[in-house]
């Protein structure tokens, strides 16, 4: 059932594009986001677990999104939740950067009603698209009383994950997401039966900046450490005016002597550097010298804890946009990068 007005309790579907809305284009045959939210909803082919009101935000592949686009999605969520008849929100989104947008929304979400992200790995015009089933299950989660107070969730291929720590773990498999450090939040069956585990302790939400200020937003870049890496890319980022850098380290968050020296120069000049890791699971632990993680910490870099580079970049971008001083940024990464006990 689709509703066009708030005539009773219902779930809002915010459509933003992604593979779930994609079809083969006329020029070249590559898949592009094209279906409206109503078309995505109609593709389910089965009754929704709750009445649904559809709102189109935009139609983009998520590989095209900016931080400002993610702030726009967050703002639209707040707008629809102003209606007390809304049970929860489903956001259809591309899988490439779903982990970033879901995390940004979670950082600023200040409402017990759930926000559930979902999408697809197979385009809408493929022989067996997975989007309709994912959407059906996500609607069931968004309207479930069990999901209240759980913050922002990601529902995909029957699994439910908390936004913090979630990541795309396979490029093509239908069960494309995992959350190695923070774990699963539950599951949802094909028939819409929702099972949610106990919520992890919530943290106070961060303010949501107004959308539409991308031109004046502080630049944050992601720089990788790798065998033989020098400071060329890091210096280019600083030359371009980066206010923040996420260093994707190796192992427990390590680099080398050259990168460490330039990190020290950058932090001395007011640039905020956060150290994450390319490793799939486990915390960033400052432990090694000779350009390793302990030397990076001494050079002023902030360890990201359990937050991987993608979500570290989102958190750092938000904090810098809010004008947060470096010591408060460090405290925030400590709080946000630790798993629930």
| Residues designated catalytic | 19
List b or e across 39-72, with b for residues whose CB sees 16 or more CB atoms inside 10 angstroms. ebbebbeeebbbbbbbebbebbbbeebebbbbbb
Give 201: exposed, middle or buried? Use CB within 10 Å, 0-12, 13-18, 19+.
exposed
- Cα–Cα nearest to 80, from 103, 104, 54: 54
Q: Please give the Cα distance from 333 to 15 (Å, whole number).
A: 31
What is the SS3 assignment for 20? helix
Cα–Cα distances in Å, from 253 out to 154, 238, 294? 27, 21, 9
Entry field: residues in the chain: 341
Q: How many CB atoms lie within 10 A of CB 236?
A: 12
Yes or no: say if 161 and 113 are a contact pair by the CB < 8 Å rule: no
Q: β-pairing, 52-60 with 10-17?
A: parallel
H helical segments located in the chain: 37-42, 67-81, 98-108, 131-142, 232-239, 257-268, 293-298, 309-321, 326-336
Q: Please give the Cα distance from 215 to 11 (Å, whole number).
A: 34
Yes or no: say if 109 and 76 are a contact pair by the CB < 8 Å rule: no
What is the SS3 assignment for 281? coil
Q: β-pairing, 272-277 with 242-249?
A: parallel
Integer Rg of the chain from CA: 20
């Amino acid at each position: 059932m689709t509703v066009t007005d708030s005539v009773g309790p219902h779930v809002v579907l915010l459509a933003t594009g992604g593979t779930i809305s994609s079809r083969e284009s006329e020029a070249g045959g590559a898949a592009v986001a094209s279906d409206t939210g109503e078309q995505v909803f109609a593709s389910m082919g089965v009754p929704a677990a709750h009445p649904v009101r559809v709102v189109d935000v935009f139609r983009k592949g998520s590989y095209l999104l900016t931080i400002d686009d993610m702030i726009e999605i967050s703002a639209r969520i707040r707008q629809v939740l102003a209606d007390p008849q809304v049970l929860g929100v489903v956001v259809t989104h591309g899988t490439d950067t779903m982990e970033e947008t879901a995390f940004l929304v979670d950082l600023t979400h200040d409402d017990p009603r759930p926000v559930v992200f979902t999408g697809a790995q197979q385009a809408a015009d493929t022989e067996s698209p997975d989007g309709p089933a994912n959407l059906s299950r996500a609607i069931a989660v968004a309207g479930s009383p069990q999901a209240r107070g759980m913050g922002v969730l990601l529902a995909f291929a029957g699994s439910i994950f908390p936004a913090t720590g979630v990541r795309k773990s396979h490029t093509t498999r239908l069960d494309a997401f995992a959350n190695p450090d923070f774990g699963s939040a539950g599951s949802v069956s094909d028939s819409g039966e929702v099972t949610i585990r106990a919520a992890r302790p919530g943290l106070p939400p961060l303010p949501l900046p107004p959308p539409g200020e991308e031109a004046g937003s502080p630049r944050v870049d992601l720089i990788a450490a790798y065998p033989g890496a020098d400071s060329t890319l890091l210096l280019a980022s600083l030359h371009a005016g980066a206010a923040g850098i996420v260093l994707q380290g190796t192992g427990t968050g390590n680099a080398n002597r050259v990168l460490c020296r330039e990190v020290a120069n950058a932090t001395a000049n007011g640039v905020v550097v956060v150290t994450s890791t390319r490793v799939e699971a486990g915390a960033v632990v400052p432990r090694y010298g000779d350009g390793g993680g302990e030397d990076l910490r001494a050079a002023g870099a902030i360890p990201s804890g359990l937050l991987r580079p993608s979500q570290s970049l989102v958190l750092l971008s938000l904090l810098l946009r809010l004008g947060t001083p470096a010591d408060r940024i460090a405290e925030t990464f400590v709080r946000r990068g630790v798993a629930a006990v």
